[in-house]
């Protein structure tokens, strides 16, 4: 007996087609909805009937299909009453898998244009130099021992030091991140990304970047005080949640400030406007990227520790200092890469959100994000 749907030849003991049963339960690789109609001929991922595009004799997903065919298929699906969920509704582990794919695509971008990784590396180097200089200066002024002294409590001097150091640290980070946003945008548009142009663009938007750095310093001080007052209980959780939420807001604002030359306060309104229909993909994608970044950071630290210990055992105390230097460089490079990935993710998300605001489901998805969504 042959299945009328897929042509599978069923055995005498089979009462239902196992292939159709499996397809009905399998989630679509594009939208996550259960029920598979076929496999994309380009990327090989399973696709449901609403995400399937016919290109001659080929079955394609909406990401791999030509733009005109994908737009026509989306319009047809809407007319028939089908509602495809936004890409991103694939559960936590699905998002982690997509985050791995995005990191691979980001690494491919960096290999094609090595200038993309330079601003994150400069940011890590400049931040380390500043923090070391700040510690030395505070120690020379006799202020270092006062910081974090719970017996004396938080005083005005400690708050002022935290605000100033936080402001300078965030200013360095956001300036180089702004350069990275510019370079990624230029690269995705097929043009040659140049450091000089990126530097000039970040310098042009410096007032907004400095205001963002000042706001981050204030949030950091307030949340650290909340954690100190609450210990490891409610205050710690509230402070940590606010800090994580603010970090997401910052990464949403930076592409708007850099690519639209938007002033600080206008950028907030613009972020709300273009991301209002994309909050779920933002939240879930952030979790996936954050988890993968932390896994990579954890593995990098373990490798650095193992390398230092191994070289110390083999070379004795003479090899300890070179081993520590190499480990520090290694960790700095990994930090630069993970920062680049996170910046690339939010830049791609911004570009996609702008396209969605103009063209809805017919919007083009930046290639790294499209590859991750199809994973």
Look at residue 327 and tell me if it is in a domain: yes
pLDDT at 169: 92
Range of the domain at 102: 91-373
Enter the tokens of residue 126: 């400049």
pLDDT at 346: 87
pLDDT at 30: 59
pLDDT at 212: 93
pLDDT at 247: 83
Q: Calculate the alpha carbon distances from 94 to 41, 50, 125 in Å.
A: 21, 20, 34
Contact predicate 343/251, CB 8 Å: yes
pLDDT at 86: 45
pLDDT at 76: 63
Look at residue 6 and tell me if it is in a domain: no
pLDDT at 27: 65
Q: pTM for this one?
A: 0.70
User: What mean pLDDT value characterizes the chain?
Assistant: 77
User: Could you give the number of structural domains in the chain?
Assistant: 2
Regions in the chain scoring below 50 on pLDDT: 82-89, 230, 280
pLDDT at 327: 81
Cα-Cα-Cα-Cα torsion 236, 239, 240, 241, nearest 10 degrees, comes to: 120
If asked whether residues 119 and 56 sit together in one domain, one would say: no
pLDDT at 54: 80
Burial class of residue 274 in the structure, from the number of CB atoms within 10 Å of its CB (0-12 exposed, 13-18 middle, 19+ buried): buried
Look at residue 11 and tell me if it is in a domain: no
Taking the chain, what is the end-to-end CA distance rounded to the nearest angstrom? 35
pLDDT at 88: 43
pLDDT at 254: 92
If asked whether residues 162 and 292 sit together in one domain, one would say: yes
If asked whether residues 188 and 256 sit together in one domain, one would say: yes
Q: Which are the contacts of 150, defined by CB distance < 8 A and separation ≥ 6?
A: 228
If asked whether residues 183 and 320 sit together in one domain, one would say: yes
If asked whether residues 153 and 280 sit together in one domain, one would say: yes
pLDDT at 211: 94
């Amino acid at each position: 007996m042959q299945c009328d749907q897929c042509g599978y030849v069923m055995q005498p003991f089979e009462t239902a087609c196992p292939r159709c049963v499996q397809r009905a339960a399998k989630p679509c690789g594009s939208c996550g909805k259960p029920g598979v109609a076929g496999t994309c001929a380009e990327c090989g991922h399973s696709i449901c009937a609403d995400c399937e595009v016919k290109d001659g004799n080929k079955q394609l997903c909406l990401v791999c299909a030509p733009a005109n065919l994908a737009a026509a298929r989306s319009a047809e699906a809407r007319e028939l009453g089908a509602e495809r969920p936004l890409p991103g509704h694939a559960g936590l582990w699905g998002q982690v898998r997509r985050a791995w794919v995005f990191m691979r695509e980001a690494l491919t971008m960096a290999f094609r244009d090595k200038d993309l990784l330079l601003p994150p590396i400069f940011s890590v180097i400049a931040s380390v130099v500043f923090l070391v200089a700040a510690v030395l200066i505070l120690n020379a002024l006799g202020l270092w021992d006062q910081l974090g002294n719970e017996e004396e409590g938080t005083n005005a001097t400690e708050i002022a030091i935290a605000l100033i150091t936080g402001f300078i640290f965030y200013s360095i980070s956001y300036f180089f991140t702004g350069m990275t946003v510019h370079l990624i945008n230029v690269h995705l548009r097929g043009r040659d990304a140049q450091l000089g142009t990126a530097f000039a663009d970040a310098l042009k938007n410096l007032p907004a970047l400095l205001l963002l750095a000042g706001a981050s310093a204030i949030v950091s001080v307030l949340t650290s005080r909340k954690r100190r007052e609450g210990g490891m209980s409610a205050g710690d959780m509230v402070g940590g949640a606010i800090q994580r939420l603010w970090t997401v807001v910052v990464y949403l604002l930076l592409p708007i400030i850099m690519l639209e030359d938007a002033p600080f306060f206008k950028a907030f309104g613009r972020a709300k406007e273009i991301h209002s229909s994309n909050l779920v993909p933002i939240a879930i994608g952030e979790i996936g990227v954050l988890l993968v970044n932390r896994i990579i950071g954890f593995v990098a630290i373990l490798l650095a520790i193992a390398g230092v210990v191994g070289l110390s055992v083999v070379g004795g105390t003479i090899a300890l200092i070179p081993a520590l230097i190499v480990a520090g460089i290694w960790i700095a490079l990994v930090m630069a890469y993970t920062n680049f990935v996170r910046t690339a993710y939010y830049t791609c998300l911004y570009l996609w959100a702008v396209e969605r605001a103009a063209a809805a489901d017919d919007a083009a998805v930046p290639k790294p994000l499209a590859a991750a969504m199809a994973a």
